[in-house]
């Protein structure tokens, strides 16, 4: 990379670094979730509502099961399992009920859609997220965890949209 490009990246990092520290991290995580789901319209509101949950969820997991690198692999695997058994189903429910509400469905209609589609969602979730979370918990610094997940969510949201609207 040319030296001008490196200077530009260093400048960009210097400007963006405060967004991943302290109190600004919650705002960064919240708006990041919302913005990446924003292309779907009402998905923006659902994404923004998930941002604070994910922010505090990862803080709690890191506090509960501290892990660093490969030496922390047993705790990393526990985090992945807890994430899959607790957060993933909860976020799936959140997605279907939240979007249903924003799109004018009754609670009964949203719950029926959830019953119809949940197991398909959850099986696909197990195919994607354990590996993604393994990378997240092993290699991604804690302040970047939600941003990393947001990047992967671009593809995942395409699947969720397909599942919801087919």
Per-residue pLDDT of the chain (166 residues; tens, 9 = 90+): 566 666 766 765 666 667 677 777 787 777 776 666 665 577 778 888 888 999 999 999 999 999 877 888 999 999 999 999 999 999 999 999 999 999 999 999 999 999 999 999 999 999 999 999 999 999 998 888 888 998 898 889 889 989 988 8
Q: What is the pLDDT of residue 36?
A: 62
Q: What is the pLDDT of residue 41?
A: 73
Q: Could you identify the residue written with the tokens 């919801």?
A: 164
Q: Which two tokens stand for residue 115?
A: 């019953």
User: Residue ranges of the domains in the chain?
Assistant: 3-165
Degrees, nearest 5: CA angle 110-114-115: 120
Q: How far apart are CA 166 and CA 157, in angstroms?
A: 14
Q: What is the pLDDT of residue 38?
A: 60
Q: How far apart are CA 163 and CA 117, in angstroms?
A: 7
For residue 69, what is the DSSP state?
Answer: T
Q: What is the pLDDT of residue 90?
A: 96
- Give the N- to C-terminal CA distance of the chain in Å, as an integer: 44
Q: Record the pTM.
A: 0.75
């Amino acid at each position: 990379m040319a030296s001008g490009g490196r200077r530009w990246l260093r400048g960009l990092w210097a400007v963006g670094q405060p967004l991943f520290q302290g109190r600004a991290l919650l705002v960064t995580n919240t708006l990041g979730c919302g913005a990446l789901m924003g292309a779907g319209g009402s998905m923006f509101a659902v994404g923004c509502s998930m941002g604070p949950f994910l922010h505090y969820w990862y803080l709690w997991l890191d506090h509960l099961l501290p892990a660093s690198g490969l030496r922390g692999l047993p705790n990393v695997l526990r985090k992945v399992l807890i994430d899959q058994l607790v957060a993933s189903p909860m976020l799936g429910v959140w997605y279907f009920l939240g979007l249903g509400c924003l799109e004018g469905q009754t609670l009964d209609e949203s719950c029926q859609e959830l019953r119809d589609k949940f197991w398909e969602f959850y099986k696909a979730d197990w195919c994607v997220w354990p590996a993604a979370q393994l990378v997240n918990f092993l290699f991604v610094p804690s302040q970047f965890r939600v941003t990393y997940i947001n990047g992967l969510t671009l593809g995942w949201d395409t699947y969720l949209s397909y599942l919801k609207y087919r």
